[in-house]
Amino acid sequence: MTETSTLPLRNPRSGQIEGELAVTPAAEVAAAAAALRAAQPQWERQGIERRCERLAALAEALAARRDAMIEMLLADTGRWHESVIEVDGTLAAIRRWAAQAPACLAEPAPRQDAIPFIQAQQTWVPYPVVGVISPWNFPLMLTLIDAVPALAAGCTVLAKPSEVTSRFVPLLREALAAAGLGEVFALVTGAGDTGQAVIEACDHVCFTGSVATGRKVAEACARRFIPASLELGGKDPALVLSDADVAQAARALAWGSFVNGGQSCMSIERVYVEAPVAEAFIAALVKEAAALDLAWPDPKQGRIGPIIAASQVELVRRQLAEALAGGARALTGGELVEHGGTWCPPTVLVGVDDDMAVMREESFATVLPVKVVADENEAVACANASEFGLSAAVFSGDPERAQRVARQLHAGAVSINDASLTAMVQTAEKQSFGHSGMGGSRMGSSSIRRFVRARALLVNTGVASPWWFPAAE
């Protein structure tokens, strides 16, 4: 493995290189994992109530650093409003787990088996070291979303955030130490090589990122026979049916598509609108989109931050150029803006066709193509013609119709008369369909079960089993 000792840290607003990220050498990743493995039995023995007290302390330690953390995330991502939501949402999630984890992993009472003299006791055994590899679009939240329930379950955690957004790491380390979690949660920094070193050293991997990297992670985990929980990309569709409130749909979709500069896995990335309401809906959507200003030069003014990762810029440029050259029209936006960093004004595209990259590939940008369809069946068929299956949205004034359509969609979560609700609602179970992921639900109270193995204690309560060999004379 080739190792560089540092990577450049780029300011996404100005495009300037402003610092260096120290890359954790592979030997140090292995040493960190060994230390966690040594600390894990004691952590497990403490019991879930005590562990949850430590998690509640982490929430308090982060709350005490809230403003500094928002500043770090602003430096990492260039966006302000979402950094506030990210910190506050993460605090709420930690507090929720601290309160509910004990009930989620309570051992059931011993159960009488169908065989009358056998009792079965279900127990849970945590994976000693859980690896977390996270992306750049919500750096803090996506580093902690799996780590926190894993810690509650009695695992230790070795996390590697994205090399694009690692400025927040020292402050998170400080909060972990203040909460007494420094020995059971280690953070390492670097790019793909460091991620591979994490996979080699842990017992279960929670990966959030692209499909292409997810495939490499799944292959590496398969070689080691360790589970991989994969949360990958999406191309979420929204269906606006003829009986929808188009003004409400336009507002919801402007948020669902453009929040965080479209850099969310569950962003709405394509809309299928039934012909009778197409004109009114598109006009309302363009009005909403055009009203969203770039958050430049003041990050607190305007709602659209920069394209965070430099590597995304060419992808967005290529998709837009291909669509416009192929006959699509931008009713608002349509051109990237340079302020040192690169920004994408909210863009509504019409005249798109199904073969365009902007309709098939993840854009991860404030680009929303809208296709007019003849009816509900065409809308469903178009929505489902995708390798992805993360989430979707349906808008209809008829609750039964909305449910009927939602149940036909190839997606793990469907928002009805709203968009991207999985960003805000973490209590309902959902799995990723297709290439959008693999493994159990990350959401909902049962998600903590991903971090334990089920062990059955099968007790013979005192008779000779009839299947034994005859007793020796």
Choosing from 44, 86, 231, 269, which is the catalytic residue?
231
Specify whether the CB–CB gap between 162 and 134 falls below 8 A: yes
Residue selected from 40, 189, 213, 396 as contacting ligand NAD according to rule CB under 6 A: 213
202 tagged catalytic: no
Q: Which two tokens stand for residue 315?
A: 């992808």
Question: Which residue, among 275, 235, 255, 239, has the nearest Cα to 402 in the 3D structure?
Answer: 239
Contacts with ligand NAD, 383-412, as mask; x by CB under 6 A:
-------x----------------------
- Indicate whether 89 belongs to the interface with ligand NAD (CB under 6 A): no
Interface with ligand NAD, residue 209, by CB under 6 A = yes
d(CA 25, CA 1): 10
Residues facing 333 on adjacent strands: none
Query: Taking the complex as a whole, how short is the minimal distance between the CB of residue 136 and ligand NAD, in angstroms?
Result: 5
131 binds ligand NAD (CB under 6 A): no
Which residues, other chains included, contact 205 with Cβ-Cβ below 8 Å and sequence gap of 6+? 130, 131, 132, 133, 198, 199, 217, 221, 226, 227, 228, 229
- Quote the longest CA-to-CA distance of the chain: 92
Interface with ligand NAD, residue 141, by CB under 6 A: no
Backbone angles phi, psi at 138, to 5 degrees: -135, 80
Q: Which is nearer to ligand NAD, 141 or 250 (CB)?
A: 141
For residue 204, what are the CA distances in angstroms to 219, 222, 238?
A: 13, 11, 34
Closest by CA position to 111, among listed 461, 467, 445, 453:
461
Which letter does DSSP use for residue 411 in this model?
Answer: S
- From candidates 77, 189, 208, 257, binder to ligand NAD by CB under 6 A: 208
Nearer to ligand NAD, 209 or 305 (CB): 209
The binder of ligand NAD chosen from 196, 257, 342, 391 (CB under 6 A): 196
Site stretch for ligand NAD (CB under 6 A), options 5-13, 191-199, 281-289, 327-335:
191-199
Q: Which stretch binds ligand NAD (CB under 6 A): 96-104, 160-168, 173-181, 378-386?
A: 160-168
233 belongs to the binding site for ligand NAD (CB under 6 A): yes
The CA distance from 72 to 309, in Å, is: 16
Of residues 132, 217, 323, 406, which one binds ligand NAD by CB under 6 A? Answer: 217
- Under rule CB under 6 A, residue 234 binds ligand NAD: yes
What's the rounded Cα separation, in Å, for the pair 97 and 145?
A: 10
Q: Annotated catalytic, 20? A: no
Binding site residues, ligand NAD, CB under 6 A: 133-137, 142, 160, 162-163, 191-192, 195-196, 208-210, 213, 216-217, 231-234, 265, 309, 362, 364, 390, 437
Catalytic residue annotation: 231, 265
